């Protein structure tokens, strides 16, 4: 045993508190420690995950309290997959932002890295915890660090964006708390497995009300339609790497919480109309809003929201194929969207407004960054032979198997809108003339950022040319999500679990 799941949460939390202290001795430590931590977490999580795939789910009880009473962490094929993905993306984000504000401002960099660690710790916590109140706490940790990161550039706009996020976040937190209270009052437990085992004993009116509040509570982090007003502002105002952290890590945690709640907690099997409807509305509204955006990051934000809508639609089908497709989409989105944010924020680096119209002719001046952006765009709109195609195909085949022809048609029509706005940007970058008066001054990316982008680009190509490299993992994860009885059994029988 190389370590245990609890380290995935404990180490980044500890690091977050140690960063300012160690920064007193040597300023560079502020940058190095997050990298070490995230690198270690990636290795730890990956090796744990391999163990899990070979031997079965790891359930860890905290402080010796057995499952129904104490808090426990569940590291299963699904949660392990997401945790590994998050730590990996976290590591890439660190690599990209290693020189963030270096030689400029120490305080700012310190804050950035502290909150980044908290963000990652919280997101992993949301995914691997087996206790709803614990999950609530982690959602709050993520929320608070996300507000702080949104307000990072202490300007008027970022403060406003953070404030909006704060309002939405607090509303959702109270809704979530109400849901938890309702469940606790009825079932007397906070353990997800035990709730899942007893949920059908709960009176329907309580059950439905609890579910509604859950949806509202988690929906804000999962960026579902009427609750995602904060997202475009937050993505736009936060620094570039934070945008990719939101898209690559935070949203994934939100989506996970949502589907865990639907699939396991409320033990719904079969198609879930609510997820499909919400997902479709989110998809359509977000993608169509993206078409007329002026700012690059805002466009990427809407695109990100839209993709999450599609993920929810795929989950909502409730079949194995649907869940597989949804997880595949999450994986691809976690790789592609950070690449777009990384390269996109370098393309508009020196611009004040960050407008798309300022990107004319940058393809010649920043060949690598522009190429990465183009690759990301090709991949996210689902052009073969890049990664996004296979996930889109899985969604469509899953929908076709359920006979959801209308959904296929809408998804494809929306894809055309998506193509239009991404290709407009690509055209501008590559086939417009560079104009000194209106274009941004190019900013050469640092080596570490290029490496980070290159890793993501290679992953896109690998998955694109050889999708079977990930299909086994996704298969196991989707089986795991659908198998609620096993989840309950694994958690409640503490025989083979670790004790601390």
Partner 1 sequence: MEIIYLIFILFLSGAIATFLLGKVSKRLRDIAFITTLVVPSVLFFTQINIGQTVDFSVLGIHLSWGITNFSYIFAYIVLGLGVLAGIYAVAAMKGKENLGFFFFNYILSIMAMMGILFSRDLISFFVFWEIMTWSSYLMVVFTGKDVQKVGIKYFIFSAIGAYAMLMAIVITYSLTGSMMISNLIFAFPDFEFGMQILIPVLLLIGFGVKSAMMPLHVWAVGSYSHSPMAYTAVFSGALSKMGIYGMIIVMAGLVSRIPEGYWFREVIAWMGAITAVGGTLWAVAQDDAKKMLAYSSVAQLGYIIIGIAIGTPLAMLASLFMAILHGMFKGTLFMAVGAIEKQTGTTNFTEVTGLIRKMPFTFLASLMSIIALAGIPPLGGFIGKWMLYESVIGSNHYLLIIVIFFSSTAAFLYCYKFLFGFFLGQEEKEWAHVKEAPAMMVVPMVILAIGTFIFGVFPGLILNPIDAGLQELGYAVTQGRYWEMSVLFNEWGDTVVLQPILYTILAVFVFFLAFVLTKNFKKTRYVSTKDISSSGEIPKEHENLTFSRGFFQPFLRSVEPLMRRKIDPYYNSFGRGMEAIFDFVRRIYTGNGQTYALYVVVFALLLLIFKDRLWG
**Residue ranges in 143-202 that form contacts with partner 1 under rule CB under 8 A:** 160, 163-164, 167-168, 171-172, 175
Cα–Cα nearest to 213, from 263, 162, 261? 261
Please count the residues of this chain forming the interface with partner 1, following the rule CB under 8 A.
Answer: 71
Instruction: Please give the residues from 432 up to 451 whose contact with partner 1 meets the rule CB under 8 A.
Output: 432-433
Measured from the CB atom, is 10 or 420 closer to partner 1? 420
- By CB under 8 A, residue 416 contacts partner 1: yes
Residues 468-487 that bind partner 1 (CB under 8 A): 468, 471
Q: Which of residues 365-394 bind partner 1 (CB under 8 A)?
A: 378, 383-385, 389-390, 393-394
Scan residues 292-311 and list those touching partner 1 (CB under 8 A): 292-293
Return the residue of 274, 365, 492, 498 that touches partner 1, per CB under 8 A: 274
How near is the Cβ of 165 to partner 1 at its closest, in Å? 9
Least distance CB 383 / partner 1 (angstroms)? 5
Region 19-78 residues binding partner 1, contact defined as CB under 8 A: none
Counting contacts by CB under 8 A, is residue 493 touching partner 1? no
What b/e sequence results for 94-111 when a residue is b if at least 16 CB atoms lie within 10 Å of its CB, and e otherwise? Answer: bbbbbebbeeeeeeebbb
Nearer to partner 1, 15 or 286 (CB): 286
Q: Does 288 bind partner 1 (CB under 8 A)?
A: yes
Q: Judged by CB under 8 A, does residue 281 bind partner 1?
A: no
Interactions with partner 1, residue window 212-231 (CB under 8 A)? 212-213, 215-216, 219-220, 226-227, 229-230
Task: Between 300 and 396, name the residue whose CB sits nearer to partner 1.
Answer: 396
Stretch that binds partner 1, among 15-23, 344-352, 413-421, 435-443 (CB under 8 A): 413-421
Q: Which is nearer to partner 1, 31 or 297 (CB)?
A: 297
- The smaller minimum CB distance to partner 1, of residues 241 and 318, is found at 318
Which residue stretch of 125-133, 341-349, 423-431, 446-454 sits at the interface with partner 1 (rule: CB under 8 A)? 423-431
Least Å distance, CB 70 to partner 1, is 31
Q: By C-beta, is 427 or 499 nearer to partner 1? A: 427
HSE-up of 11 (CA within 13 Å, CB side)?
Answer: 20
Binding residue (CB under 8 A) for partner 1 from 57, 289, 345, 369? 289
Q: For residues 149 and 286, which CB has a smaller minimum distance to partner 1 in the complex?
A: 286
Tell the smallest beta-carbon distance from residue 397 to partner 1 (Å). 5
Tell the smallest beta-carbon distance from residue 172 to partner 1 (Å): 7
| Site pattern 108..147 for partner 1 (x: CB under 8 A) | ----------------------------------------
Of 101 and 298, which CB lies nearer to partner 1 in the complex structure? 298
């Amino acid at each position: 045993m190389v370590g245990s799941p609890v380290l995935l949460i404990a180490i980044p939390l500890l690091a977050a508190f140690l960063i300012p202290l160690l920064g007193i001795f040597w300023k560079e430590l502020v940058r190095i420690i997050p990298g070490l931590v995230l690198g270690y977490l990636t290795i730890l999580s990956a090796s744990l995950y391999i163990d899990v795939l070979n031997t079965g789910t790891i359930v860890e009880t905290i402080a010796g309290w057995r499952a129904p009473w104490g808090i426990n962490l569940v590291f299963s094929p699904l949660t392990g997959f997401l945790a590994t993905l998050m730590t990996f993306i976290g590591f890439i984000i660190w690599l990209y932002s290693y020189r963030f504000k270096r030689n400029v401002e120490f305080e700012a960099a310190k804050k950035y890295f502290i909150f980044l660690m908290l963000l990652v710790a919280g997101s992993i916590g949301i995914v691997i915890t087996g206790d709803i109140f614990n999950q609530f706490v982690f959602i709050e940790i993520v929320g608070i660090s996300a507000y702080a990161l949104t307000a990072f550039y202490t300007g008027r706009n970022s403060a406003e964006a953070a404030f909006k996020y704060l309002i939405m976040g607090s509303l959702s937190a109270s809704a979530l708390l109400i849901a938890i209270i309702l469940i606790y009052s009825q079932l007397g437990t906070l353990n997800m497995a035990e709730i899942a085992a007893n949920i059908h004993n709960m009176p329907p009116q309580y059950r439905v009300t609890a579910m509604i509040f859950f949806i509202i509570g988690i929906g804000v982090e999962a960026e579902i339609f009427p609750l995602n007003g904060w997202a475009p502002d937050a993505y736009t105002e936060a620094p570039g790497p934070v945008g990719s952290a939101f898209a690559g890590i935070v949203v994934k945690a939100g989506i996970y919480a949502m589907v865990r709640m639907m699939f396991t907690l409320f033990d719904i099997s079969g198609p879930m109309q609510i997820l499909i409807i919400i997902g479709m509305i989110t998809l359509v509204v977000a993608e169509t809003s993206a078409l007329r955006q002026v700012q690059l990051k805002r466009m990427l934000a809407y695109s990100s929201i839209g993709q999450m809508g599609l993920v929810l639609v795929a989950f909502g089908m409730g079949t194995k194929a649907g869940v597989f497709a949804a997880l595949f989409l999450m994986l691809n989105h976690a790789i592609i969207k950070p690449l777009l944010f990384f390269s996109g924020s370098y393309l508009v680096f020196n611009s004040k407004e960050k407008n798309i119209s300022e990107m004319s002719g940058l393809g010649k001046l920043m060949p690598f960054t522009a190429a990465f952006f183009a690759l990301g765009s090709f991949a996210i709109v689902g052009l073969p032979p890049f990664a996004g195609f296979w996930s889109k195909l899985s969604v469509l085949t899953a929908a076709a198997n359920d006979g959801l022809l209308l959904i296929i048609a809408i998804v494809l029509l929306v894809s055309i809108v998506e193509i239009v706005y991404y290709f407009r940007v690509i055209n501008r970058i590559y086939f417009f003339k560079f104009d000194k008066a209106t274009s941004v001054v190019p900013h050469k990316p640092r080596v570490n950022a290029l490496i980070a982008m290159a890793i993501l680009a290679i992953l896109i190509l690998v998955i694109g040319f050889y999708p079977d490299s990930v299909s086994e993992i996704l298969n196991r994860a989707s089986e795991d999500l659908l198998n609620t009885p096993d989840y309950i059994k694994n958690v409640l029988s503490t025989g083979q679990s670790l004790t601390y």
